[in-house]
Amino acid sequence: MKTKLLLFCLLGIFSVNAQTTHNLEWFMGIGTNVDLTIESGDTVIWTWGDSAPHTVENDTGNSVENFDSGTITGLGQTYSHTFTVVGDNDYFCGIHGAASMSGTISVLIPLSVNENELPKMNISPNPVSSNLNVQFSRNIMEGQIAVYDILGKQLYSKEFDAESTFSINVSNFKEGVYFVKVVSGKKVQTQRFIKN
């Protein structure tokens, strides 16, 4: 029982360490450029950069998660939210409106914890319009390369033997964010790219 409890605690510590905290300043005049791309499980902290009252609230029709700070006043005050659902979250200040204080938090599938076990993966061009080139510093013994959309749907897959360079035609993909994932045995590496 003690061993199971210790293992559970260690797993909890590792999963907490894998998450990232992102800080954003939030003040009158910030504009509409307060955008972030994060991974599921990451936390965003908005810090008030002036003493005016503000809110941070999701745009109900254009957000996959619900969050609302309520009205907060005071320089240095904060509001935080941990994002767990993959997708886009448009948000704004309910007091000053979306035209003067707004942004988007895009939440992506987390990259694999084991991604450093394979040689470094380079993809180009990124953004890409037709052919995505994937290259490793050395051959990878048999495995699979696949492409997933932001919702986790597999759009491309190919088995391979001892290769280090791949070319994937993505010209028929819609514009957006995708992931290329290479699996070889128990080793996994994932990288995101943009199709334009």
pLDDT in tens, 82-91: 999 989 999 9
Q: How large is the greatest C-alpha to C-alpha distance in the chain, in angstroms?
A: 61
Range 2-108 classified under CATH 3.40.50.720? no
Question: Higher-confidence residue: 168 or 109?
Answer: 168
Q: What does the pLDDT read at residue 111?
A: 61
Please state, in angstroms and rounded to a whole number, the distance separating the CA atoms of residues 61 and 29: 24
Tokens of 60: 């109900």
| CATH number for the domain whose boundaries are 115-195 | 2.60.40.3080
Task: Please answer whether residues 54 and 26 qualify as being in contact, where contact means their C-beta atoms are separated by less than 8 angstroms.
Answer: yes
Tokens of 125: 């061009």
Task: Please answer whether residues 108 and 150 qualify as being in contact, where contact means their C-beta atoms are separated by less than 8 angstroms.
Answer: yes
pLDDT in tens, 4-36: 443 344 344 334 345 788 889 899 888 877 888
Q: How far is CA 95 from the centre of its chain?
A: 28
pLDDT in tens, 62-100: 999 999 999 999 999 999 999 999 899 999 999 999 888
Least confident of 82-96, 105-119, 133-147: 105-119
pLDDT at 140 > cutoff 70: yes
Q: Hey, do 2-108 and 115-195 end up sharing a CATH topology, with the first three levels equal?
A: yes
Q: What is the mean pLDDT of residues 144-166?
A: 88
- Return mean pLDDT, the chain: 84
Share of the chain above pLDDT 90, in %: 48
φ/ψ (deg, to 5) at 55: -125, 160
Rounded to two decimals, what is the model's pTM?
Answer: 0.52
Task: Please give the full DSSP string across 122-177, using - where no structure is assigned.
Answer: EEESSSBSSEEEEEEEEEE-SEEEEEEETT--EEEEEEESSEEEEEEE-TTSPSEE
Please state, in angstroms and rounded to a whole number, the distance separating the CA atoms of residues 164 and 167: 11
Q: What does the pLDDT read at residue 117?
A: 58
Enumerate the domain spans of the chain. Answer: 2-108, 115-195
Q: What does the pLDDT read at residue 135?
A: 87
